[in-house]
């Protein structure tokens, strides 16, 4: 397999967005966009969880892109409290779709703050048919906009997440599992913290298993 990851720049609403991109050799391969954690807490597209997620998609023959939001790394602009970052994510998805117009599936994934942006993007883009939200923070961000959530996906989190009390995840699970016609899998990592430190291998295993199961349908 050709593991050539390209460094690219995507035209975004606030200027250029720095991104990494892997193009699958397979025609009609699925596509995935992977979003970074909070820029004001040191988050970038080179965060370990983001890179592990990107590589897992890559190894499952996706054309996959991860992107630095405005003001991060070599991306133009400055932090915009989520609104601008959502516009950046939409621009990155536009670019990814243009490059892979014959894709068979469209996935979005994000870590921490990135999971909020991923889920907001999901609500606006009907072509997204799977998502993976990693370590979401329903205690910090309001996820009530997900009613109803338009597509099935996975939420993966650490039972020992030091930033998110467990009852908030339980509450989110309760709200989303009552919705008809979609299935959202909540996957806990027993010893995992917010960043899955020392649990990276388990995290990747669950990710890989879910991706394989959901792409087998196509």
In this predicted model, what pLDDT tens digit does every residue of 22-54 receive, in sequence order?
999 998 999 999 999 999 999 999 999 999 999
Query: pLDDT-derived band of residue 215, with 50, 70 and 90 as boundaries?
Result: very high
Query: pLDDT-derived band of residue 217, with 50, 70 and 90 as boundaries?
Result: confident
60-77 mean pLDDT: 98
The pTM of this model reads 0.97
Share of the chain above pLDDT 70, in %: 99
Q: With contact defined as beta carbons under 8 Å apart, do 93 and 109 qualify?
A: no
Helix/strand/coil for 47: coil
Hey, what are 156's tokens?
Answer: 């993966």
- pLDDT of amino acid 179: 86
**Higher model confidence: residue 3 or residue 42?**
42
Query: pLDDT-derived band of residue 147, with 50, 70 and 90 as boundaries?
Result: confident
Q: Could you identify the residue written with the tokens 């919705």? A: 179
Domains defined along the chain, listed by start = 6-215 (3.40.50.1820)
Give the span between the Cα atoms of 9 and 92, in whole angstroms.
10
**pLDDT tens-digit profile of 86-119?**
999 999 999 999 999 999 999 999 999 999 999 9
- pLDDT of amino acid 1: 45
Q: What Cα–Cα distance (Å) separates residue 117 from each residue in 145, 172, 190, 209?
A: 12, 16, 25, 24
74-79 mean pLDDT: 98
Hey, what are 83's tokens?
Answer: 């609104």
- pLDDT of amino acid 2: 55
């Amino acid at each position: 397999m050709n593991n050539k990851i390209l460094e690219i720049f995507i035209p975004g609403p606030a200027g250029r967005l720095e991104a990494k991109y892997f193009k699958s050799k397979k025609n009609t391969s699925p596509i995935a966009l992977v979003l970074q954690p909070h820029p004001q807490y040191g988050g970038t597209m080179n965060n370990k969880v983001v890179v592990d997620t990107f590589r897992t998609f890559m190894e499952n023959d996706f054309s996959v892109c991860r992107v630095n939001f405005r003001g991060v790394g070599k991306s133009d602009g400055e932090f915009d409290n989520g609104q601008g970052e959502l516009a950046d994510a939409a621009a990155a998805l536009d670019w990814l779709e243009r490059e892979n117009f014959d894709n068979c599936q469209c996935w979005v994934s994000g870590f921490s703050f990135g999971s909020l942006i991923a889920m907001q993007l999901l609500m606006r883009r009907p072509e997204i048919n799977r998502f993976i939200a990693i370590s979401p923070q329903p205690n910090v961000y309001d996820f009530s906009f997900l009613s109803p959530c338009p597509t099935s996906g996975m939420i993966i989190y650490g039972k020992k997440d030091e930033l998110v009390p467990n009852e908030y995840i339980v509450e989110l699970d309760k709200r989303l599992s009552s919705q008809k016609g979609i299935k959202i899998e909540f996957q806990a990592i027993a010893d995992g913290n917010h960043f899955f430190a020392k649990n990276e291998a388990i995290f990747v295993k669950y990710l890989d298993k879910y991706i394989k199961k959901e792409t087998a349908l196509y």
